[in-house]
């Protein structure tokens, strides 16, 4: 039971990858562990690296440090919601003269609820595996992952 304690340093560990590894990184931000783990499995199966955060503040730290190719975030999260995270990531990228990563917002409330957020894509919860795979291929340009 000691592994279940709310110690974010223990719980939220980015997947290790080498600096010379050009496999795209996808940041998943969701405070519901089963959803984050399911997304991580789909992303890893598709050949990408997944890193997880359980709240918006940790997601922003990871986004600024890891420079993910894509951010998939729940809308309702502690500290920063998904829209606030998206704006902070975009602002940081623009301040560095870089293109921000695409941001996909998820919500159990559905697409109409998030329509005004200016996200790159919006998906409902529960999500469909095929929809996640389509989003990965739509937003990450990875010729090395065509068949492999």
Per-residue confidence (pLDDT) for residue 49, from 0 to 100 = 95
Quick check: pTM over 0.95? Answer: no
The span from the CA of 139 to the CA of 27, in Å, is: 13
The string of DSSP codes covering 111-146 is HHHHGGG--SEEEESSPPHHHHHHHHHHH---GGGS
Give, for 9, the enclosing helix (H) or strand (E): helix 8-11
Structural domains of the chain sorted by starting position, each given as residue range(s) with its CATH number in brackets: 25-140 (3.40.50.2300)
Residues of the chain with pLDDT under 70: 1-20, 110-116, 141-148
Per-residue confidence (pLDDT) for residue 60, from 0 to 100 = 97
Count of residues in the chain: 148
């Amino acid at each position: 039971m000691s592994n279940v304690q709310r110690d974010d340093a223990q719980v939220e560990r980015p997947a290790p990858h080498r600096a010379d590894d050009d496999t795209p990184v996808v940041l998943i931000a969701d405070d519901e562990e089963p959803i984050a783990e399911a997304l991580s499995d789909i992303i890893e199966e598709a050949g990408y690296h997944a890193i997880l955060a359980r709240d918006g503040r940790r997601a922003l730290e990871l986004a600024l440090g890891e420079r993910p190719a894509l951010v998939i975030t729940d809308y309702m999260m502690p500290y920063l919601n998904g829209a606030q995270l998206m704006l902070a990531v975009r602002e940081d990228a623009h301040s560095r003269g870089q293109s921000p990563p695409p941001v996909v917002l998820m919500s159990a409330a559905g697409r109409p609820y998030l329509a005004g957020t200016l996200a790159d894509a919006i998906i409902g919860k529960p999500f469909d595996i095929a929809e996640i795979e389509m989003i990965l291929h739509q937003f990450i340009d990875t010729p090395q992952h065509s068949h492999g």
